[in-house]
Amino acid sequence: MSFEIILVLVVILFLLVALYREWLWPPVLFFISIVVLTLAGIISPKEALGGFANDQVAVIVILLILSEIIRHSSLVDKMFDRIFKGAKSVNGFLIRMMAYVSVSSAFFNNTPLVAMMMPYVHAWSNKNNISPSRLLIPLSYAAILGGCMTLVGTSTNLIVNGMAIESGLDGLNVFDFIYVGAPMLVIGFFYLLLFGKRLLPDTPDVVEEFVQSAREYLVEVKVNKDSPLIGKSIMEAKLRHLEGLFLVEIIRGEKLITPVSPREVLQAGDGLIFTGVTSAIKDLENMGLSLPKASEIPDSGKSIIELVISHNSRLIGSKIQDSDFRAKYDGSILAVHRNREHLSGKIGMIEIRAGDVLLVLIGPDFYKRVAEVQAFYVISKKQETTDIEPWKLTIMIGGIIGAVVLQAVGVFPLFYSLFTLLGVVLVMDMIPFSIIRKGFDFNLVILLAFGLAFGKAMMNSGAADYLAAMILQLAEPLGFTGLIAGIFLITNLLSSYITNKAAVAILFPISMTIATTMGFDIKPFILVVCYGAAASFITPIGYQTNLMVYGPGGYSFKDFFRIGLPLTIIYMVVCVMVLDYLYN
């Protein structure tokens, strides 16, 4: 192996480990990798930054902006109310929800769609006494299945298409994906309806009234200087048998006391760490205990809400005490819920992760301040909407569909159609520019652009040829079918445990090299990378919509694996059979 191949393989290993262990923010990890590859001369500065001028990346950004406009439209609320008004049973709601989400996600970005739907799912489940955990995974899976039907359904499809064009190949058509995507949508639809009740957990959860929530949270309170509990033991202070709360730790200066003995004597300034139901939080103040200073928000407009940290939040990796949450958003974090993981120590020292659910005491300006951020999704309340004139919204939605059709029949490239449509939308002044600006996800753009550069580095260095030769040694005896199945499996596993952007950046050049070496049609080897990366069902971290429902549904990794593994196997079988029939 040459030095260039060794270096690229080392960078790949670094990316895989660092992304899995969450050492740094994904855009930072990709940036470090591209800097190393550029300094080593494997890619030129032009190649390193060329992804930012790629028209497929621009298409993704435009679709995100247009989806954001639709998400803020009051017309969407009215449409949702009409769609779900007659749903009386779980299957009735699932059918309506999955049909709407899957069809819509074929043409619009699925992340805003899931964000729009989550409050409706919670509201319906609360009203009908159904656990949201029965509905949220189907919501995410429906978005994924629908997105796999078209070129514009997921960002991974578009970025792989961009890689193909960068490599001098013909781009994919909008509906090249439908031959696998449509059958799998139907199969996935019936799979979730028939087996969802048996495989999905029934996690108790009440979102409408958060102060009565049964979820376990980590809550920190402080013993006031004038507290009547000072000098009393835990038993004497009656902190041992609080209804709905369990004292797990005492923080006394730099000392952590755990487990807590019933004979432990309380001192002024002690920090008490409880886990339990949120309904008991206010009761602690009546016992001479206070919430942290950061929680002291003026009484006017005060309420407690629940929110989930988004996959691309700038809060990820920062400690709560360093997040400046109150100053930025007029809200103080009272408690943290991370599924079934035990969180230890001061709340302020907890490092925020994607998918965390936070219990937040908010002030009157909270919703105004969060209108322009992508840091989290509020799941306790339907978003504030904007009244957009129906004729304007009709022009925009019709324009998106028209752009897709024009590209499908080969009349007009997708970029030019959507770019023109965006100009029309801006001229019509449909919503404030601040909301449109929110749709520009710069973190995603970095990942996509550097993903293109990484793929270029694999081709330039010869690493793609080297890895392709290794895969061929193992799978070549199995022929076309074995190679397609192997690429799907590897891409899917990488996508499930790191990110789909990294997975396609690594596997696309390898897949293309395999097809060229064996003399096969390149198109199925491009498509299988798309399917393997986008059809991510077995973990919550592989796809952004899975991560969005992970915390709110109270799911564990095991829940995703139990229901997602059979669906992934079915998807691989259908994908291999269809591609083998069409292209072999």
Beta bridge partners, 351, equal 319
pLDDT (mean) for 3-17: 91
- Is 210's pLDDT higher than 70? no
- Per-residue confidence at 411, pLDDT binned at 50, 70, 90? confident
CATH number for the domain harbouring residue 259: 3.30.70.1450
Q: For residue 570, what pLDDT is reported?
A: 96
The owner of tokens 């019933």 is: 262
Q: For residue 193, what pLDDT is reported?
A: 92
- Are residues 310 and 249 both part of a single domain? no
- Per-residue confidence at 213, pLDDT binned at 50, 70, 90? very low
Structure tokens at 165: 């064009």
- Are residues 464 and 577 both part of a single domain? yes
Tell me how many domains the chain contains.
3
Q: How far is CA 220 from CA 205, 345, 459, 551, in A?
A: 22, 9, 53, 20
Let me know if residue 356 belongs to a domain. Answer: yes
- Are residues 469 and 372 both part of a single domain? no
Let me know if residue 481 belongs to a domain. Answer: yes
d(CA 461, CA 41): 10
- Is 532's pLDDT higher than 90? yes
Q: For residue 530, what pLDDT is reported?
A: 94
The string of pLDDT tens digits covering residues 67-111 is 777 777 777 667 777 777 777 788 889 999 999 899 989 888 788
Q: Three-state SS across 366-418?
A: HHHHHCCCCCEEECCCCCCCECCCHHHHHHHHHHHHHHHHHHHCCCCCHHHHH
Alpha helices in 85-213 (DSSP H): 90-105, 110-127, 136-147, 155-166, 178-199
Q: 490, 456, 452: which is closest to 472 by C-alpha?
A: 490
- Are residues 342 and 285 both part of a single domain? no
Q: Pick the last residue of a domain from 291, 322, 345.
A: 291
Q: What are phi and psi of 85, to 5 degrees?
A: -60, -40
Provide the angle, in degrees to the nearest 10, between the axes of the packed helices 155-166 and 500-518: 40
- Is 177's pLDDT higher than 70? yes
% of residues, the chain, pLDDT over 70: 87
d(CA 524, CA 259): 58
- Are residues 246 and 323 both part of a single domain? no
d(CA 204, CA 449): 42
- Per-residue confidence at 303, pLDDT binned at 50, 70, 90? low
Structure tokens at 548: 């969005």
- Is 299's pLDDT higher than 80? no
Let me know if residue 352 belongs to a domain. Answer: yes
Whether residue 448 contacts residue 159, with contact meaning beta carbons closer than 8 Å, is answered with yes
Range list of β-strands (E), 184-330? 217-223, 245-252, 255-257, 271-276, 289-290, 303-309
pLDDT (mean) for 323-336: 80
The larger pLDDT score, comparing residue 498 to residue 264, is at: 264
Report the predicted TM-score, pTM, of the whole model to 2 decimal places: 0.77
The string of pLDDT tens digits covering residues 239-252 is 877 766 778 788 88
Q: 224, 225, 202: which is closest to 136 by C-alpha?
A: 202
Let me know if residue 307 belongs to a domain. Answer: yes
Q: Pick the last residue of a domain from 243, 258, 291.
A: 291
- Are residues 281 and 331 both part of a single domain? no
Q: Pick the last residue of a domain from 249, 267, 291.
A: 291
Structure tokens at 583: 């292209």
Q: 524, 442, 446, 423: which is closest to 479 by C-alpha?
A: 524
Structural domain for 374, as ranges: 303-378
Let me know if residue 482 belongs to a domain. Answer: yes
Q: 117, 26, 18, 65: which is closest to 313 by C-alpha?
A: 26
- Are residues 501 and 560 both part of a single domain? yes
Structure tokens at 318: 């920062």
Q: How far is CA 473 from CA 218, 492, 522, in A?
A: 52, 20, 19
Let me know if residue 73 belongs to a domain. Answer: no
d(CA 319, CA 532): 34
Structure tokens at 176: 């090249």
- Are residues 287 and 307 both part of a single domain? no
Structure tokens at 504: 């396609």
Structure tokens at 493: 């596993």
d(CA 108, CA 43): 34
Q: What is the CA radius of gyration of the chain?
A: 25
- Are residues 283 and 325 both part of a single domain? no
Let me know if residue 179 belongs to a domain. Answer: no
Helix, strand, coil percentages for the chain (3-state, nearest 5): 60, 10, 30
| 3-state DSSP assignment of residue 256 | strand
The string of pLDDT tens digits covering residues 365-389 is 887 777 666 778 887 665 566 677 8
- Are residues 362 and 278 both part of a single domain? no
Let me know if residue 454 belongs to a domain. Answer: yes
- Are residues 464 and 553 both part of a single domain? yes
- Are residues 451 and 572 both part of a single domain? yes
Q: For residue 435, what pLDDT is reported?
A: 63
- Per-residue confidence at 293, pLDDT binned at 50, 70, 90? very low
d(CA 228, CA 264): 15
